[in-house]
Structure 1
Amino acid sequence: MEEDYIKLVFGLKLKQQRLKKELSLFGLSKLTGLSKSYLNEIEKGKKYPKTDKIALLAEKLEVPYDSMVSLKLDKNLAPVGELLQSKILKELPLELFGVKESDLIDIVANAPTKVNAFISTIIEIAKHYNFGRESFYLASVRSFQEANNNFFPDLEKAVIDFAKGYHIDLKNSVSSKELEEILIEEYGYTINNEDLRKHQELDNLRSVFIPKTKTLLIAGHIDEAQRSFIYAKEIGYNFLKITERLYTFTWIKFENFDQVLNNFYASYFAGALLIPRKLLKTHIDRFLGKPKFDKTFLTGIKNNYNASPESLYQRLTNILPNDYLLENLFFLRFSHKEDSDRFDITKELHLTHQHSPHGNEIDEKYCRRWVSIRVLQEISKSKVDHHMDVQISHYPSDGLSYLIMASATKDPFKDGEYRSVSLGLLINDQLRKKVKFLDDPKLKTIDVGVTCERCNIENCEVRQRPPKILSKLEKNRKTAQVVNSLYEKFG
């Protein structure tokens, strides 16, 4: 990469000086006696000229030799240089998205000024929304999931292969005891259930893995479903032969993008192992085929699967698009602190487009008519362990409706805090063919907005803020109408 960077920097400088002289490649060729194709390859960063050629170019372009060979870029090209030297380009597996590094280099070399403006724009947006490296990596993984409809056949097959090799019965949800035995006997793990609970600073962690001794430290306050997921994820790392990985769960730091991506792979493996595809499909078939909505499909989750509500909802985002062709769906996770009026989206996935609702970073108030928020409000008052609800959310602004299922639970790692997970399915002809209970009269249809500031629902009893964004747009519309009438009158 360093050699490529040196070539590209020289090429960018050469092109910049050529354009300053208002020379075409043909013109520079005539001026220097160097072939047009050779100069073109230099400017694209594919070749680096010898010393005598650099001296010739510097002389004809009237630029100091030292300036031409220096790696220092002027202010117009500095952001491009920062991008090319950044770890993001080195760490991001571009091949996942069908992009070659050479393609990016060609783009930069062909239009450095425009690329610079684009990069500067991205940087400004990132600063404005506090969009750091962590957010960038997570957004990249999310885009990768969405591009594949969140279904990965190789990982599904790996789970089946693992189950065959270790005599795991995928007709039932596997227990933590079975998984612990495999970790110890097959992979040489030592399970430590004591030391993590001694450190108050680590209360938010579920597990820590020490690779040197293969010691897995487990938090004392986790339940059976959480323990099983931790074990299944560790097995995923080992069975998939992943070495570049994260060592804490939840993770607190990462070194590169591969660790974040591999964390997703291991988590997918764990979800597929704990919630077997064939078993889940038998329950989905019964659930979707009932004429009335059955809450027990979700509230009775612990009876069917050794998994949390979040794992089940996540698993549904794998199965529904692939096996039932229900691709227009989204997944959301909210967090909420008791006695506060704040609700934050902490995880989201949109398979076909940016469905409403979606996360925002501009401190607007999410619509309080969402079932995702209502279940959090209700569980914080009732103090129950699990609260589930369903509704049809209709967005008058775009005319779309979604079947939304939401479950709320206590946050096991933070006192007085709760989280909800929601699955939204766009109501269209495909959904109506698959879901028999859509006409259940007990399913309430509720008009909703995205945020209060952008909502045009009148006399909303739960509105948190006035619709100032809509008011501004309406004012601009009326202003435009008056201006148009003036054009007509005096034009």
Structure 2
Amino acid sequence: MEEDYIKLIFGLKLKQIRTEKNLSLFGLSKLSGLSKSYLNEIENGKKYPKPDKIALLSDQLEVPYDQMVSLKLDKNLAPIGELLQSKILKEIPLELFGIKESNLIDIVSNAPAKVNAFISTIIEIAKHYNFSRESFFLASVRSFQEANNNYFDDLEQQVLKFSKAYQVDLSKSPSSKDLEEILVEEYAYKINESELEKFEALGNLRSVFVPKTNTLLFAGGIDEAQRTFIYAKEIAYNFMEISDRLHSFPWIKFERFDQVLNNFYASYFAGALIIPKEKLTLQLESLFEKEIFDKALFLKMLLDYNASPETFYQRLTNILPREFNLKNLFFLRITHKAGSGKYYLNKELHLTHHHSPRANETNEHYCRRWMSLKVIKEISKSNNDHEFDVQISNYPSHKNKYLILSSATKDPFRENQFRSISIGLLMNKQLERKLNFLEDKKITRENVGVTCERCAIKDCEVRKAPAIVLEKREKNRKIESIVDELTAKFQA
């Protein structure tokens, strides 16, 4: 970016000086004798003039030569300068979304004032919401998933290629023993299951990979599904020859965006290996053709794979858009500590558009009518390992309905902690065509809101806070209506 940066800074300064002197490009061309097209390329950061041309412009615009060639920008353009000098343009995964750095430079040079305001706004939002570098990278990966309907055929093909090369039967879910054998025999892995237990401070850390010795350290208490998923991710890194990677699960630090993106690729590969597309598609077709929702069949399907509910629901977000053209859906993971009264939406995915149930940063109370919260409440009161339920949620304020499937489990690494995993499918013509059981009377129907503070449902027995946001909005509407009446009255 250094050469481009120098060109762009000069172009921005020239444009600013020209504008301050009320000169058009045509006028500056007449004044300096330089062609209008040449000046335009300079201002757009595409060309840097030779010293004699800079001297000519300096003389005609009555600006000192040193000021023109200085990389220092005045306060109006300073935020753009800071952005261009920082590493952020290198860290933003522009290529992931088909954007070239040169395109970004064109945008900046063509509307510096607007871009400057935009940058300042982003900085303020980031400060207000404590938006970290990690949050930014995760949001970028999530946007990448959403832009591709969370289906990546190249990764699906890699899984098929792997299964053929290592004779892995994709008609059934592989066991951890199957995958461990490949890691040890093919990639010379060493498995250590005692070292991490010595460190209580590691909390819910489940594994650490030491690349120098190919040693994979496991935490105590890890179950079969988690072990299989971790092994599958390790196979993904090795089979796809990914070296720029994260080394712990869950990950605790990173150095580059590519590491975060490669972690997603490895996770996708793992999910596709453990839950093969062809088998799951056939099972879903069988479920969808029934006139009533077969809960037993769904649970059998979930248990048919050596996977956690989260891995299974994540896999649904790959298969449903691709194989059934059900592209309007969301995925949520909510965590809760018993007795705290607080619920945290710490993982979400929205396909096609941003759906109503989403994370908020305003400390409002999520609607207790959500199935995601109901199953957590159920499991916190029971001794069961897994709670599941289904609901059709109606959002009166948005006029949308969703078919919600939710599972809740205990957190094996945290005492009195619970989590729910949910997938919501927008009720529309396409869903009605694909799912025959939507009229099943046994499926609970419930009016829901996003948060209590924004919910208009009257006499809600589980409301945790008054609808202060709606009340304020209604008050403003009344004031606006009265002002309109007064304006009409005294205009006559």
TM class by shorter-chain length?
A: over 0.9
Matches within 5 A, 1:204-353: 204-300=204-300, 303-353=303-353
Secondary structure (helix, strand or coil) at the match of 2:473 reads helix
Cα separation, 1, equivalents of 2:389 and 2:88: 41
**Greater mean alpha carbon deviation, residues 306-315 or residues 44-53:** 44-53
Equivalence for 2:164: 164
User: Distance in 2 between the 1:302 and 1:213 partners?
Assistant: 36
Alignment of 1:379-394 (within 5 A): 379-394=379-394
Q: What is the identity, as a one-letter code, of the residue corresponding to 1:380?
A: S
Q: Is the CA contact (8 Å cut-off) linking 1:301 and 1:307 kept in structure 2? A: no
2:42 aligns to what? 42
Runs of 4+ deviating beyond 6 Å = none
Alpha-carbon distance in structure 1 between the residues aligned to 2:383 and 2:490: 68
User: Residue 413 of structure 1: CA displacement?
Assistant: 2.4
Deviation track 1:46-89 (CA, whole Å, cap 9, x = no partner) reads 12222222222223222222222222222111111222233332
The CA distance in 2 between the partners of 1:298 and 1:119, in whole Å, is 48
RMSD: 1.4
The within-5 A match list for 1:11-160 is 11-160=11-160
- Which residue identity does 1:377 align to in structure 2? K
Corresponding residue for 1:196? 196
The answer on 1:480 being equivalent to 2:487 is: no
Asked whether the 8 Å contact 1:299–1:386 carries over to 2, the reply is: no
Q: Give the C-alpha shift of residue 217 in structure 1.
A: 1.1
Does the 8 Å CA contact 1:173/1:305 hold for their aligned counterparts?
Answer: yes
- In the alignment, which residue of structure 2 is the partner of 1:446? 446
2:368 aligned with 1:368: yes
Shift of 1:419: 0.9
- 2:93 and 2:140 in contact (8 A); partners too: no
- On the 8 A contact 1:454/1:468 being kept in 2, the answer is yes
Question: Which stretch has the larger CA shift, 136-145 or 61-70?
Answer: 61-70
Report if aligned partners of 1:290, 1:436 keep a CA contact under 8 Å in 2: yes
Instruction: Give 1:349 deviation, angstroms.
Output: 0.7
Distance, in Å, in 2 between the alignment partners of 1:110 and 1:166 is 54
Matches of 1:447 and 1:140, distance apart in 2: 33
Any idea what the Cα deviations from partners look like across 1:281-338, whole Å, max 9, x if unmatched?
1221222222222223444456410000000000000001110111111100001111
Per-residue CA deviation, residues 97-125 of structure 1 (Å, 9 max, x unaligned), is 12121111011011111110011111112
**Residue identity in the other structure for 2:469:** I
Contact 1:409–1:419 (Cα < 8 Å) also in 2: yes
Find the aligned partners of 1:455 and 1:115 in 2 and give their Cα distance.
Answer: 36
Return the offset for 1:474: 0.7
Q: In 1, distance between residues paired with 2:187 and 2:228?
A: 16
CA distance in 1, matches of 2:484, 2:408: 51
- What residue in structure 2 maps to residue 470 of structure 1? 470
| 2:94–2:100 Cα contact (<8 Å) kept | yes
- Which residue identity is paired with 2:99? V
How far apart are 1:414 and its partner, in Å?
Answer: 1.9
> What count of residue pairs does the alignment treat as equivalent?
491
Q: What is the identity, as a one-letter code, of the residue corresponding to 2:457?
A: I
Counterpart CA distance in 1 for 2:254 and 2:444 is: 44
SS in 2 for 1:216: strand
Is there any run of 5+ residues in structure 2 with no aligned partner, and where?
Answer: none
Question: 1:243 & 1:7 partners in 2: Cα distance?
Answer: 36
SS at match of 2:438: helix
Residue identity in the other structure for 1:185: E
Normalised to the residue count of structure 1, the TM-score between the two structures is: 0.97
Structure 1 contact 197–203 (Cα < 8 Å) conserved = no
Contact 1:151–1:318 (Cα < 8 Å) also in 2:
yes
- Contact 1:129–1:362 (Cα < 8 Å) also in 2: no
Moved more, 23-32 or 458-467: 23-32
- Tell me the alpha carbon deviations over residues 368-420 of structure 1, each in whole angstroms, 9 at most, x when there is no partner: 00010111112112242111111110111122111101111112222221111
Tell me the secondary structure at the aligned position of residue 437 of structure 1.
coil
